[in-house]
Amino acid sequence: MGLGTFWGISAGAGDPDWLTVKGAKLLRSVKWLACPQGAAGQPGLAFQIVRSWLQPEQTLLSLHLPFVTHSAQLQAAWMAAAEQLAPPLEQGEDVAFVCAGDVGLYSTFAYVAQALRERIPNLSVQAIPGVSSPLAAAALLGSPLVMGSEKLAILPAMFALSDLEQACAWAEVVVLMKVAPVYPQVWQWLAEKSWLDQASLVVWAGWPQQALFPTLEGLADYQPPYFSLLILRSRQRN
């Protein structure tokens, strides 16, 4: 018996209609569906995005993949997820891992796939791209993310201000992913540079509670939620 395929399906940034046609077809065809758990152990955000596309007979594998930065804890979670996913794959069944946003952009999928390949060296891993949060946020703001020869920098969560300064030295557009933990420092830094009108904030992109802030003026005391993304245009467009 051959091995199954481990699929990574990009669910998009929030709106279920952002799921690609290919992603929707695959979601409906696999028996085994995996997704990260929420904080209380329930199926997480990725599951909520795709649940309307699923079939009643599918088996859900809810994985404990905590939102932490401790490397040992993360490594243990990835290995535990691989142990949970391995049996159907070894029995020749395909398994689809659903990820909010795009599986290729700061996604847990890559780490789980790596852990699985360590356990099953010949495993086939396939990824289906989707709508990433930076592109979704730019579309919601009614502006292209980049134009012409503009350079783009994307910084992950918990970056340092020195990283932001370095990025602005060479990129015209800088995206700050999950900016909430450092938002007060970033707001102050932008205010000192008189760049508040060149930065936009999108929270919960594609969800019912979505909020758009075209500029950061007057938002010094705002406390953005975890799923917040900031787009800075360090050089004004003509």
Domain coordinates in residue numbering, the chain: 5-128, 133-233
CATH topology of domain 133-233: 3.30.950
Q: What is the CATH number of domain 5-128?
A: 3.40.1010.10
9: number of CA atoms within 13 Å, CB side? Answer: 31
What is the value of pTM for the model shown? 0.90
* pLDDT, tens only, 59-114: 999 898 877 777 888 899 899 999 999 999 999 999 999 999 999 999 999 999 99
| Better pLDDT: 65 or 200 | 200
Q: What is residue 237's predicted lDDT score, i.e. its pLDDT?
A: 54
Q: What is residue 144's predicted lDDT score, i.e. its pLDDT?
A: 95
CB 119 within 8 A of CB 86: yes
pLDDT category of residue 208 using cuts at 50, 70 and 90: very high
Total residue length of the chain: 238
* pLDDT, tens only, 8-17: 999 999 999 9
CB 38 within 8 A of CB 44: yes
One-character DSSP codes across 7-70: EEEE-BSS-GGGS-HHHHHHHHH-SEEEEEB-TTSSB-HHHHHHGGG--TTPEEEEE-------
Q: What is residue 70's predicted lDDT score, i.e. its pLDDT?
A: 72
pLDDT category of residue 155 using cuts at 50, 70 and 90: very high
Residue 236 has pLDDT above 70, yes or no: no
Q: Do domains 5-128 and 133-233 have the same CATH topology?
A: no
pLDDT category of residue 166 using cuts at 50, 70 and 90: very high
Quickly count: other Cβ atoms within 10 Å of residue 191's Cβ: 14
Instruction: Give the bridge partners for 97, in sequence order.
Output: 8, 34
In the chain, the amino acid numbered 26 is: L
Q: Mean pLDDT of all residues in the chain?
A: 92
- pLDDT, mean of residues 198-208: 97
**Tokens in use for 118?**
């360590």
Give percent of the chain with pLDDT exceeding 70: 97
* Separation of alpha carbons 169 and 135, rounded Å: 22
